[in-house]
Amino acid sequence: MKTQGTDERYHPLSISIHWLTFFLMIAVYALIELREIYPKGSDAREAMKMWHFMLGLTVLGLTLVRIVPRVLFRVPPITPPLPATQRFVAEAVHLILFAALIVLPVLGWLVLSAKGKPIPFFGLELPALIGPNKDLAEKLEEIHANLGTLGYFLIGIHAAASLFHHYIVRDNSLRRILPKRCSPNSK
């Protein structure tokens, strides 16, 4: 049986993980895009790539942790309720986003493994998931990059839909996930 925090908002743990993941994803994308300002092989570029890897793996861990409150605590309803088609699309986008938050870091881990490179994680070195294989590394890296690009669109759709529902439809979909102090209805 699922427990609840309130009838109108997600559990505080879910809210915290959602927004921490959001900010980490900004950092992950910024690091990989901004590395281009430094020459290949430079210390700064390598540091940005290392932080990209470590924060990406942090997103993986948070996403796996995020599944727990999703199972334990009920999802607050959207008021007024969405039409069935919109509810289906929203659930599909959420499912695809969750999958991307798991698949993208795992693919990154596989890329490093296949390249025979260390997998850094805040002073630790994680084990390789597969043995070195240059051809496979190139294919996995291409898939990782393409899915990363798709992630921009998924995040954009998710954010645009949230804002649309908040400002145009005027339902509670965004308010359910806002931190308490940011929520327009908080005291």
What domains sit in the chain, N to C, each tagged with a CATH number? 12-169 (1.20.950)
Q: What is the residue whose two structure tokens read 């954009």?
A: 156
Q: How far apart are CA 147 and CA 27, in angstroms?
A: 17
- Identify whether the C-beta of residue 63 lies closer than 8 Å to the C-beta of residue 24: no
User: Which two tokens mark 33?
Assistant: 């895009």
- Identify whether the C-beta of residue 104 lies closer than 8 Å to the C-beta of residue 147: yes
pLDDT 10s per residue in the chain (187 long)? 455 445 689 999 999 999 999 999 999 999 999 999 999 999 999 999 999 999 999 999 999 999 998 889 889 999 999 999 999 999 999 999 999 999 999 999 999 999 999 999 999 999 999 999 999 999 999 999 999 999 999 999 999 999 999 999 999 999 999 998 765 555 4
pLDDT, position 187: 45
C-alpha distances in Å from residue 45, one per residue of 36, 39, 49, 109, 184:
7, 7, 6, 18, 41
Q: How far apart are CA 98 and CA 44, in angstroms?
A: 31
pLDDT, position 101: 97
pLDDT, position 183: 55
Q: How far apart are CA 166 and CA 89, in angstroms?
A: 17
